[in-house]
Amino acid sequence: MKRILAKLEIPILAFVPLTLFICASLQITQAAVLSLLVALAAIAVFFANFELSKPVLRQIIPAVVLGALAAAGRILFAAIPDFKPVSAICIVAGVVFGRRTGFIVGAIAALVSNFFFGHGPWTPWQMYSWGMVGYFGGVLADRGLFDKHPAAVYVYGFFSALLYGVLLTTWHVVGFIQPLTWQSAILAYGASLPFDIIHAVATVTFLLIIYAPWSRKLLRIKDKYALSGSKQDARL
């Protein structure tokens, strides 16, 4: 069970955008529900995997605190639409604590903040999309990209926010516009582009301010949790 779930992690995460693509190309009428269920399944598999890995306190607590911080940040910045620190915090979490924590921080932030903003069918999609923002942050950091090119993190920040926007818009387009035509899709992407750009700029701004000091502070906390040993161990 444990092994199967662990192997499923990457395929199921990749299957979510794939579903959107299949639904779009086959013009499936029930795309909204179908893709929603797939996204929910992906999140469920991810969390079940985390649960079965018997996480210890030093994995649980930073994820919870960062997730809650991102949610609180979203609430504190609610006055400025789409200017939110969530993506930036997910990226920092992914880079410092690894891809899994990155995903969990994003998912928790979306879920918990929606208890304050209002839940809707968008909740699983936000959980998935922000989760992926943190997940890729962790994957790229694991590959050593950000060590080699420190500026890459800001570039990633910009594109990750766009990725978030594209995922949500695609779900909306595929799920709720029927029959799907090129014109309507382009209109929908065009309408969401300005907001995505604000989000991307906000993410880069936040990263510029928090990335270096937070990484330092988080590493300090990691030390305090007696997180020593090889880098590989620390990330798992």
Partner 1 sequence: MSNMLRWQGKNTGFELIHPGLQLTYFAVVLVLTMTAMQPVLLTISFISALLFSFCVRGWQTTLKTLVILLPLVIICAVINPLFAMMGSSEVVRFGQHAIYLESIIFGLCMGMMLASVILWFSCASKILSTDKVLAVLGGVLPVVGLMISMAMRLVPQFTERGKLIGSVAESVTSARPLTKRDHITSRLRIVSVLMGWSLEESLQSADAMKARGWGATNKRTGYKRYRFAAFDLFASLALALLVITCSVLAFVACSQFHFYPTMSTLTLWWGYIPYALLMLLPLVVRIVEDLRFKWLGQA
Partner 2 sequence: MTELKDFIHSTKPASEPALSIDGLCFSYASQDSNTGTQMAGNLLFSDASMCLPQGSFTLLTGNTGSGKTTLMRLIKPELAPTGYRKGAINVFGRETTSLSVAESSTMIGYVAQNPETQIVCDAVWHELAFGLENLGTSQEAMRRRVAEVAYFFGIEPWMHSPTASLSGGQKQILALASILVMQPKLLLLDEPTAQLDPIAEKNFLHALFRINRELGITVLVATHSPETMTDYATGALRLEDGKIEPTPLSAIPAKAGIHNKLQIPHDNATDSTTINCRDLFFRYSKEEPWVLRGFDLTVATSSIHAIVGGNGSGKSTLLNMMAKAIKPLRGRVNNLHSSSQAILPQNPMALFVGDTAAEELKEWQQRCDYSDEEIVSMVDLFNLKSALAKHPYDLSGGEQQKLALAKILLTKPKLLLLDEPTKGLDTSAKRELATTLLGLRAKGVTILMATHDLAFVSKVADNTTMIFDGQSACSEPTQEFFSNNIFYRLPRIDSTTNELNVAHEKSMREDESKTDS
In the chain, count of helices (H) and strands (E)? 10, 0
Partner in contact with 55, chosen from partner 1, partner 2, none, beta carbon below 5 to 8 Å by kind: partner 1
Q: Which is nearer to partner 1, 145 or 210 (CB)?
A: 210
CA 63 to chain centre: 13
Q: In the bound complex, what is the minimum distance in angstroms from residue 185's beta carbon to partner 2?
A: 41
Q: Could you say whether residue 193 binds partner 1 (CB under 8 A)?
A: no
Nearest to 58 by CA among 100, 112, 97: 97
The residues near 180 (Cβ < 8 Å, ≥ 6 apart) are: 24, 27, 173, 174
Site for partner 2 in 207-236 (CB under 8 A): 213, 216-217, 220
**How many other CB atoms are there within 10 angstroms of residue 106's CB atom?**
32
> Distance (Å, rounded) from C-alpha 131 to C-alpha 137?
10
Partner in contact with 104, chosen from partner 1, partner 2, none, beta carbon below 5 to 8 Å by kind: partner 1
Secondary-structure percent of the chain, ordered helix, strand, coil, rounded to 5 = 85, 0, 15
Q: Specify the amino acid at residue 83.
A: F
> Distance (Å, rounded) from C-alpha 108 to C-alpha 68?
7
Q: Which is nearer to partner 1, 15 or 77 (CB)?
A: 77
Site for partner 1 in 34-53 (CB under 8 A): 36, 47-48, 50-51
Nearest to 75 by CA among 60, 85, 65, 66: 85
Site for partner 1 in 196-225 (CB under 8 A): 205-206, 209-210, 213-214, 217-218, 221, 224-225
> What is the contact mask toward partner 2 in residues 172 to 211, using x (rule: CB under 8 A)?
----------------------------------------
> Distance (Å, rounded) from C-alpha 107 to C-alpha 134?
9
Q: In the bound complex, what is the minimum distance in angstroms from residue 136's beta carbon to partner 1?
A: 22
Q: Which is nearer to partner 1, 143 or 217 (CB)?
A: 217
Nearest to 125 by CA among 40, 56, 34, 48: 40
Tokens coding 9: 């992690």
Binding region for partner 2 (CB under 8 A):
213, 216-217, 220
> Binding residues for partner 1, per CB under 8 A?
29-30, 32-33, 36, 47-48, 50-51, 54-58, 60-65, 67-69, 71-73, 75-77, 85, 104, 108, 111-113, 115-116, 118-121, 176-179, 181, 183-184, 187, 205-206, 209-210, 213-214, 217-218, 221, 224-225
